[in-house]
Structure 1
Amino acid sequence: MRSTADADDRASLLRSHPRPTLARPGWASLDGDWEFTTGAPGDNPADLTFDQSIVVPFPPESAASGLGVDTCEEPRYRRTFTADPAPGHHVLLHFEGVDHDARVWVNGHLVGGHAGGYTPFALDVTDALRHGEGDTHTLVVAASDDARDLELPRGKQAWTADPEVIWYRRSSGIWRSVWLEEVPALRIASVAWTPLDTDGTLAGSIALAGLPRGASGRHSVEATFTHDGVLLARITLQATGPKVEFQVRLGDARTVPIERLLWTPEHPRLIDVDVKLVSDGAVADEVASYTGLRTVRAVRGAVRINERPTFLRLVLEQAYWPDSQFTAPSLEALRAEAQLIADLGFNGLRMHQMSADPRFLRACDELGLLVWADLPAAQLFTPAALERTTANLTELVARDRNHPSLIAWVPFNESWGIPRVARELRQQNAVVALQALAKALDPTRLALGNDGWEHVTGDVIGVHDYSHEPAKLKRRYLPGVIAATLAWRRPGARRLVVGAPRRLGRTLALEGTPVVLSEFGGVSLDSDQAAWRGYGRVRSASALVERVSALVDAVGPDSGLAGWCWTQLTDTLQEQNGLTWPDRTPKAPIADLRAAITESAQA
């Protein structure tokens, strides 16, 4: 059993580490002041003069970066760092997000790159270090982000000169943390934990790097599972190849009953996992990780967490801050964001057109918030756009698969990037393919197809309905009426479901696909003249609370819905329909808002 101090240190490491589900102590942040300039496509940054400075990881378009430019399609960065790895060790350089294409040099050597603005990458820079010539090294990063390329997955970044309607300011270049990690040559490369049932059966997959051929009998992996300091299981396996896979049963009446280990929104219990790689009797590497014993299924019209129907009370999370844009201003701000969502009475959120910061997901894991994860959308349907969206999905599943809070993948939002999905088979096939890919990569979570309207396939049907008439909402989503609503209602002149209405009704009745009102509400409180007028409007805090209460009451657990997602958490530029102002101050007393959200929406 670990001491309290050790447990506290471990919890602190996992909360602050950029990669909280696989953490080693001693990592080094490279965030802070960098040299900066702008370049041109395909240039050699060695030829440039770095005559400005920037605060990383804030994008150059943000005030927090110290620049605040309107557009920066070719940002260039330079800084020095120190690294003097022990013999036989490697230095990994991690980037949590560079939008969109990145090229990286260390000491003048091109060490690699990455395409994709919303997913992390790591480069082994060991061979580029100047061994024996001191431990100070020069790092240069070149990013390329075409502001008007509609084939790029841009999420809610505007491609017009100025933000308008529901689109926000652009966020180019480095926009998430950069960090260094010294690792042994023989090391743990990744871990994956998959809960298989509600009896505590967990599948583990541990990938190794640097394992020599013919290693049989010399290397082993030990995984230790604990909860609140109580040992649940310890398993030791021989490492004969680059991956070690196993199943383990956690919890029994003699140690901790399984009902006291399951992760739920009400009781978000986390299982600590410590993994050691042993070589010739000595510990070669060890990492800290964690998991949650949580299953999720869509069945008989409900979303079931650990086989218990759970009514979803989600909020649309845009994750945008006034001074730092899509980059959180601090770790504390990320954790405060999750706490605000919980304090308002929501049991989850839809991360809208953004990849979540993994440290935010750690906070959601601790608080019991259920997360739907959108893929950021391109605006055109082309082979290139589809290829980039597919890569995003594959990389995000690999990054976030260990977070119990994450319960659903959303490959497409409405018809973004698939504008003719209602009538073009090729675009329908894209929806089917990405939904199937999500289920193939991650069969233990829900996967939607396209959320909002023109539904093609998915574990859940997501509907966007911004009616502000509670009586109409109530009539549309009555248990016996909801199939007809899906068949005949046309918000924005678009069908809710692609397919013959009569067949649809039978399918819903037979299969019981849950329906979630995945965007609704959208109330602006006395918004200014610059606000987009696409939502309802009230003129006082008390009127806001009344409107929220009335709309939520119309679509609660007694309806035919499996849940809803309120639009949205915060005001964001001209989209001023949040429950809070941009600085996260609630627009009405938080207790009143919480009562409006929860009292008529109890499962």
Structure 2
Amino acid sequence: MLHVGDHAAKHRGEAGRRLGRRMHPPHHRSLKTAPRPEYPRPSLRRRDWMNLNGEWDFGVGPARRFDRRIVVPFAPQSRLSRIGDWEEADVVWYRRRFDAFGSPRLMLHFGAVDHRATVWVNGEEVGRHEGGHTPFSFDVAPFVRDLDNELVVRAEDVVGDKSIPRGKQRTQGMGAPWFYTPTTGIWQTVWLEPVNHGGIESMRLKPSLDAGAVEFEIVGGGRKEVVATLDGRPAGRWSGDAGTGSIALTEVRPWTPERPHLYGLEVSSEKDHVSSYFGLRKVEAKGGRFLLNGEPYVQRLVLDQGYFPGGLLTAASDGDLRRDIELAKAMGFNGARKHQKVEDPRWLYWADTLGFLVWAEMPCFHTSSPEACARLEAEWRERVVRDRGHPSIVAWVPVNETMGLKYLQPVKLADYLMRLRALTTELDGERLVMSNDGWQHATSDLCTLHDYAAPEVLRRRYSNLDSALEAGAREQPPYLAGYGYRGEPVVISEFGGVALEGGAFGYTKAAGADALLETYREMVEALMQPGPVEGFCYTQLTDIEEEQNGLLTFDRRPKVDPALIRPITETPKASS
């Protein structure tokens, strides 16, 4: 079995290999192998598990029915689900059978189900979950027998409900080209995992580059031995009964996109064993600069919306998740703003392993109400807790462009943005937080601005700070009333969006590949001239349906040779 952190380099050459093993073959009938066979939760892995992906019975409508077949974990709107003709529906049903482990506890895990899920095992309801982007689990041991158990899932995703956090998923009245095919129901891996009574419930790692150490909080497990490794070599050890502890590392190697050093972590107790990994890195915003590990660092990001051929929000394979990062790095980008999506944890694993900065964003709702705000806040909490251990994530973005909040009174808008910021900082104080990406900031750690102007306008506007912050330069002013610039680094977190002539939507059109390359060059040079801009995020990585302003087509074919794009992306920041 492979352990992610034991020797990160060997995983960089083995896309798609499984991190865990299945105890019994899943019931997937005509499929030779279950799709997405890799262990789905890289940050907390166990050796024994059962992948429940594959063919399930499926039905549509308020009444329980199973008259079709679907391939999980692909949404019924996607080609890889094998559903075929599809009309949007509020409720869908899933069913499959499985044999159980002989285990005191048996955890049934769902990576994500959009939007409300109710789960039954052998006719008994075992739990419910609301939130289409975050994981949930139930202990089903009290409900199972050894053989031939029935698992049923009801998923409700009301067509036209704009109060649900759905991000870029198209719904009624949202026909603009920057909205895409929606996702209903199960869209990430489903799996079973046996756990002993007294096993490890959860684990949080807090690496410190300054201290050269890693602190940890472990719930459950009794007396434990914790071993850190680097490239397969022991790097520190701790043992004890306490739920918290710290390991002073014998070797200290920082994590960067250029050198993404990862440490492995093995936790053993009498009744359990789990594996994890971590990286040592520090992010700060000081003196108008973004600092990575104490040094100024220019973020050269690409907007990535996480839609994939055949699977929509779900990548067809683990290798496809890896490939997107490799393609972006080949074009000179050192990170991505993962836009309006809570991405598969496997993508974040590859960002950690390959070295790729990530801005982690929450999908928005589109109609505000107290219930909608509370729903987003609850799911954002789950999301931050899920992902706060990834060294690749350097910034949190709970809100984008005031989406869904545009009709709130300014005071209420500011209060909500600051509440989300406070929640994020409480859950994770190690990363930068944007109160509202693009404009109408309250208090943010970066001044992020969206600007799809032509190159000559960008050059003039970003030659100095005063013109960069002009209130009329974009749809909304940079800051809300009562808030203002405090010296934070300026990042143009959306620009570009150049499409080829003859294609569908783009913010700007270019007459062929050469013109696209030249426009990109002029835009990047305008931002990297002497002036306040300390980083950028180009729109976007790939075409998606009608929005065809990617550097790659939807099937990941480059429109311009990446070797020509790379030196432009890496244009040095000119000193003032």
- The reply to whether TM is greater than 0.5 is yes
> Could you tell me how far 1:5 is from its partner in structure 2?
14
Relative distance call for 1:108 and 1:262 in structure 2 (3 A) is same
Give the aligned partner of residue 186 of structure 1. 198
2:72 to 56, 63, 82: 56
Distance 2:572 2:392 in 1: 24
Answer yes or no: is 1:115 the counterpart of 2:130: yes
Secondary structure class of the residue paired with 1:389 = helix
Distance 2:95 2:46 in 1: 26
AA matched with 2:341: M
Deviations 1:239-269 (A, max 9, x none): 4xxxx11233223xxxx3x3xx111111100
Answer yes or no: is 1:379 the counterpart of 2:366: yes
Relative distance call for 1:9 and 1:579 in structure 2 (3 A) is closer
Q: Could you tell me whether the CA contact under 8 Å between 1:90 and 1:185 is conserved in 2?
A: yes
Q: How does 1:245-256 map to 2 (within 5 A)?
A: 245-251=244-250, 256=251
Secondary structure class of the residue paired with 1:438 = helix
Relative distance call for 1:225 and 1:557 in structure 2 (3 A) is farther
- Higher mean alpha-carbon deviation, 366-375 vs 11-20, is at 11-20
Please report the RMSD computed on the Cα atoms of aligned residues, expressed in angstroms: 2.3
Q: How does 1:566-577 map to 2 (within 5 A)?
A: 566-577=538-549
Answer yes or no: is 1:393 the counterpart of 2:380: yes
Secondary structure class of the residue paired with 2:303 = strand
Answer yes or no: is 1:582 the counterpart of 2:559: no
Distance 1:125 1:543 in 2: 58
Distance 1:553 1:4 in 2: 39
Deviations 1:451-494 (A, max 9, x none): 0111112111210001122x32123223xx214431433312x2
AA matched with 1:120: P
Provide the TM-score with structure 2 as the length reference: 0.91
Answer yes or no: is 1:464 the counterpart of 2:450: yes
AA matched with 1:230: R
Secondary structure class of the residue paired with 2:560 = coil
Q: Could you tell me whether the CA contact under 8 Å between 2:280 and 2:391 is conserved in 1?
A: yes
1:263 to 232, 252, 255: 255
Give the aligned partner of residue 33 of structure 1. 55
Q: Could you tell me whether the CA contact under 8 Å between 1:162 and 1:169 is conserved in 2?
A: no
Distance 2:424 2:534 in 1: 21
AA matched with 1:146: V
Secondary structure class of the residue paired with 1:304 = strand
Relative distance call for 1:562 and 1:111 in structure 2 (3 A) is same
Relative distance call for 1:429 and 1:8 in structure 2 (3 A) is closer
Give the aligned partner of residue 65 of structure 1. 81
Secondary structure class of the residue paired with 1:519 = strand
Q: How does 1:194-205 map to 2 (within 5 A)?
A: 194-205=206-217
Unaligned segments of structure 1, at least 5 residues: 212-218, 278-282
> Number of aligned pairs?
551
> Could you tell me how far 1:542 is from its partner in structure 2?
1.3
Answer yes or no: is 1:477 the counterpart of 2:462: yes
Q: Could you tell me whether the CA contact under 8 Å between 2:340 and 2:364 is conserved in 1?
A: yes
Distance 1:3 1:106 in 2: 32
Q: How does 1:203-352 map to 2 (within 5 A)?
A: 203-208=215-220, 219-239=222-242, 244-251=243-250, 256=251, 258=252, 261-277=253-269, 283-352=270-339
Q: Could you tell me whether the CA contact under 8 Å between 1:57 and 1:175 is conserved in 2?
A: yes
AA matched with 1:61: Q
Q: Could you tell me whether the CA contact under 8 Å between 1:195 and 1:295 is conserved in 2?
A: no
> Could you tell me how far 1:557 is from its partner in structure 2?
6.9
Distance 1:567 1:361 in 2: 20
> Could you tell me how far 1:9 is from its partner in structure 2?
12
AA matched with 1:229: G
Relative distance call for 1:161 and 1:495 in structure 2 (3 A) is closer
Q: Could you tell me whether the CA contact under 8 Å between 2:528 and 2:571 is conserved in 1?
A: no
Secondary structure class of the residue paired with 1:456 = coil
Relative distance call for 1:453 and 1:78 in structure 2 (3 A) is same
Give the aligned partner of residue 495 of structure 2. 520
Give the aligned partner of residue 453 of structure 1. 439
Distance 1:269 1:7 in 2: 9
Q: Could you tell me whether the CA contact under 8 Å between 2:361 and 2:399 is conserved in 1?
A: yes
2:480 to 481, 498, 503: 498
Provide the TM-score with structure 1 as the length reference: 0.87
